[in-house]
């Protein structure tokens, strides 16, 4: 029987580690997204101090907002893909480019208006003493989002 060299042992160890990591990646459920959304919601609830009724209304508003926003973002993605696919055309004029970018901008404006209406609706379910807290949290979130 052959004696195992240190290099062979190292290779076997790396294969075992890779198999373990593949098992964890593919066969273990990933709850990080759910935990992040729940933690964001509890973070907002903790900082603003929502009541149970306010929290249930907020969950309904949030669910509606994200489903509508997802539809808008899907439309933007489709339009951008079509626009970029036109880059191979030699006779693509500046006016067509302007048309496509204006179309993307119109959809983005809808998303921004939807976000504004959502924040307004959440703000309206809060008591007057809670509203300034939400306003400052929204500012922090928007600045952090743009920085990343």
Going along the chain from its start, the domains and CATH numbers come out as 32-147 (1.20.120.1490)
Q: How far apart are CA 74 and CA 106, in angstroms?
A: 14
For residue 116, give the H/E element and its range: helix 94-125
Q: What is the pLDDT of residues 46-84, one digit of tens each?
A: 778 888 888 889 889 989 999 999 999 999 999 999 888
Question: What is the three-state SS of 1-26?
Answer: CCCCCHHHHHHHHHHHHHHHHHHHHH
**Structural tokens at position 42:** 């509890």
What confidence category does residue 148 fall into, taking pLDDT thresholds of 50, 70 and 90?
A: very low
Is the pTM higher than 0.95? The answer reads: no
Give yes or no for a contact between 79 and 124, defined as CB atoms under 8 angstroms apart: no
* Statement: residue 117 has pLDDT above 90: yes
Lowest mean pLDDT among 7-16, 25-34, 72-81, 121-130: 25-34
């Amino acid at each position: 029987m052959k004696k195992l060299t240190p290099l062979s042992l190292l290779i076997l160890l790396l294969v075992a580690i890779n198999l373990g990591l593949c098992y964890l990646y593919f066969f273990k459920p990933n709850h990080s997204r759910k935990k992040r959304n729940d933690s964001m919601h509890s973070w907002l609830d903790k900082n603003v101090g929502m009541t149970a009724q306010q929290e249930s209304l907020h969950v309904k508003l949030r669910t509606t907002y994200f489903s509508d926003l997802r539809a808008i973002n899907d439309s933007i993605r489709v339009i951008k893909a079509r626009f970029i696919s036109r880059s191979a055309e030699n006779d693509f004029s500046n006016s067509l480019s302007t048309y496509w970018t204006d179309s993307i901008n119109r959809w983005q404006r809808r998303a921004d208006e939807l976000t504004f209406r959502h924040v307004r609706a959440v703000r309206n379910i809060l008591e007057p003493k809670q509203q300034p807290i939400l306003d400052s949290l929204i500012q922090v979130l928007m600045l952090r989002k743009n920085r990343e």
